[in-house]
Amino acid sequence: MRTVLAVFAFALSTVAQAVEPGGSIPDVSAPELLQPSRSFALKGLQGNVVYVDFWASWCVPCRQSMPALDKLYHKYQDRGFRVVGVNKDVAAADAERFLQRVSVTFPLLYDGGDKVAQAFDVQAMPSGYLVDRKGVVRQVHRGFTADTAAALSGEIEALLGDGK
């Protein structure tokens, strides 16, 4: 019986824990989508308020979220707000075709091997993680609607205003 419990405990310890508010941003990096020879580390953004957005070309709500996030990026970037889009398509070419229709200016990473998504334990598409200046996740958004954009704007304002 002890052996069964030990095996069960070990199995649970290896399951990825979902990144939730209060947790730290995972220390992961991925290649840039449009310049795959360059790697981008999320921890390098510490000191900024950051929104890490997981998206894919097949994700219908992503057609709405990507332009909305780009507007927020432009609105708040001078105050220390950054957006990083992490693409989960199997083929980078699918993401590139999507970007021909939905153009954004914030950095985009390619996570074809799902390393970054697994580190966050992404549960839905799109999923976004709002991170404070110290690298602590403050909000998690699963899915995206017009209400999400409005809520996110207020959350960004609060984090940029409180210096945390």
Q: What is the pLDDT of residue 19?
A: 78
Q: How far apart are CA 162 and CA 9, in angstroms?
A: 40
pLDDT at 23: 86
Judged against a pLDDT cut of 50, whether residue 144 lies above it is answered with yes
* Residue range 92-135, pLDDT digits in tens: 999 999 999 999 999 999 998 999 999 999 999 999 999 999 99
Q: How many residues does the chain have?
A: 164
The answer on pLDDT for 14 being more than 60 is no
Give the pLDDT band (50/70/90) at residue 162.
low
Name the pairing type of β-strands 49-55 and 127-131: antiparallel
pLDDT at 6 over 50: no
Mean pLDDT score, 13-26: 70
Domain boundaries along the sequence of the chain: 21-162
Amino acid at position 69, single letter = L
Residue 46 has pLDDT above 70, yes or no: yes
In this predicted structure, what is the pLDDT of residue 13? 38
pLDDT at residue 17 tops 90: no
Position with higher pLDDT, 22 vs 74: 74
48 has pLDDT over 90: yes
Q: Which residue type is seen at 21? A: P
What is d(CA 160, CA 87) in angstroms, rounded to the nearest whole number?
26
Inform me whether the pLDDT recorded for 150 exceeds 80.
yes
What's the chain's average pLDDT?
88
Q: How many CA atoms lie within 13 A of 38 on its CB side?
A: 8
Task: Please state, in angstroms and rounded to a whole number, the distance separating the CA atoms of residues 74 and 140.
Answer: 21
The tokens for 30 are 């991925």
**What pLDDT does residue 22 have?**
80
Residue 45: predicted pLDDT: 93
Distance of CA 148 to CAs 1, 15, 24, 127, 138, Å? 48, 29, 22, 11, 15
DSSP H/E element including 115: helix 115-120
Long-range contacts of 111-118 (CB under 8 A, 24+ apart): 111/30, 111/54, 111/86, 111/87, 114/88, 115/28, 115/30, 116/26, 116/28, 116/30, 116/42, 116/54, 116/86, 117/54, 117/86, 117/88, 118/16
CATH for 21-162, among 3.40.30.10, 3.20.20.70, 3.40.50.150, 3.40.228.10? 3.40.30.10
